Amino acid sequence: MAEILSLDSGYCTHLGCIVLRGAPMRKCKFPALVYLLSAHGRYWLWDTGYASYFDDYTKQGIYRLYRWVTPTYFSPQQAILAQLQQRGMTAADITAVLISHFHADHIAGLRDFSNCRMICSGQGWQQLRPLRGMAALKQAFVPGLIPDGFESQVQFVETFPVQALPAQLAPFQYGYALPESNGEIVLVPLPGHAVGQLGAFVATDNGWVLLASDAAWSHLNYQQMRLPLKLANVIMNNPRAYLTTLQALQQLHQGGAATIHLSHEGDL
């Protein structure tokens, strides 16, 4: 069965009451978590989190607003490549980087893995690819974080075989089987928060795990349906789809057949 290792790549701060109604009006830490997945002798990264490139490409111009809205705290030792090296690994050991979505806090380390295969939503990439300036910033997309030659390295999940999911994972029924994972990693759309956002069902020895990315910012979002404030809709790609996805997470949680991991669950 597949294994999951959680890696912390730094954090940003934001008012907790924005992402969870009823939370205190104070700044909370939201870690940028990355997951190292392994199965059958292969390794995949679920996102790359923060890296020094984030500072490089948000120092000037319109993209400075990104770091102003969500101040970031990161040290070079927290770069995912540095953490892999501490474990005796290199970028060459990574079969592919799985991009949940293209918000800067999920892709800032992509350049450290520029020779790796990249996997993402084709729909998401095609919509974001031409954006620059304010249009890109509205999507939390910083184009400079995309490595040179990205399009020669990328594969789109829509081209992967469709795999039926076990009935106990309802309401999720189908996903895209990750090549070389022997059906133990299945990618699923999680629309709403960001264009083309993906999640990943991972079959482990302890049962199924859903890497739900930013489909929620707190387990209370889906367990108690405590929604973000409407102000958070400013950064939502599709607020109505976000609610539908949150309801799907609630149903999955109530079914008890999968554990849900988020990318930014903060100290609310």
Range 158-163 average pLDDT: 98
Across the chain, mean pLDDT equals 95
pLDDT of residue 17: 81
Give the separation between CA 153 and CA 116, rounded to whole angstroms: 7
Strand partners, 98: 46, 119
Range 82-108 average pLDDT: 98
The two structure tokens encoding residue 60 = 């000037």
pLDDT of residue 81: 98
Residue type, 113: F
pLDDT tens-place string over residues 71-94: 999 999 999 999 999 999 999 999
- pLDDT bin (cut points 50, 70, 90) of residue 2 is very high
pLDDT of residue 15: 86
Q: Domain 3-261 adopts which CATH fold?
A: Metallo-beta-lactamase; Chain A (3.60.15)
Residue 240 CA, chain-centre distance (Å), reads 20
Q: Domain ranges in the chain? A: 3-261
Q: 60 pLDDT exceeds 80? A: yes
> DSSP characters for the chain?
--EEEEEEEEEEEEEHHHHSTTS-SSEEEEEEEEEEEEETTEEEEE--B--HHHHHHSSSGGGHHHHHHS-EE--GGGSHHHHHHHTT--GGG-SEEE-S---HHHHTTGGGGTTSEEEE-HHHHHHHTT--HHHHHTTT--GGGSPTTHHHHEEEGGGSPEEEPPGGGTT--EEEEPTTTTTSEEEEE--SSSTT-EEEEEEETTEEEEE-TTS-SSHHHHHS--PPPGGGGGG-S-HHHHHHHHHHHHHHHHHTSEEEE-S-----
Which residues have C-beta within 8 Å of that of residue 5, sequence separation ≥ 6?
35, 36, 37, 38
Give the separation between CA 73 and CA 155, rounded to whole angstroms: 31
Whole-prediction pTM: 0.96
pLDDT of residue 235: 78
pLDDT tens-place string over residues 115-159: 999 999 999 999 999 999 999 999 999 999 999 999 999 999 999
pLDDT of residue 19: 85
pLDDT of residue 18: 85
Lowest average pLDDT, out of 71-85, 180-194, 227-241, goes to: 227-241
Bond into 71 cis (ω within 30): no
pLDDT of residue 214: 97
- pLDDT bin (cut points 50, 70, 90) of residue 231 is confident
The two structure tokens encoding residue 29 = 């830490």
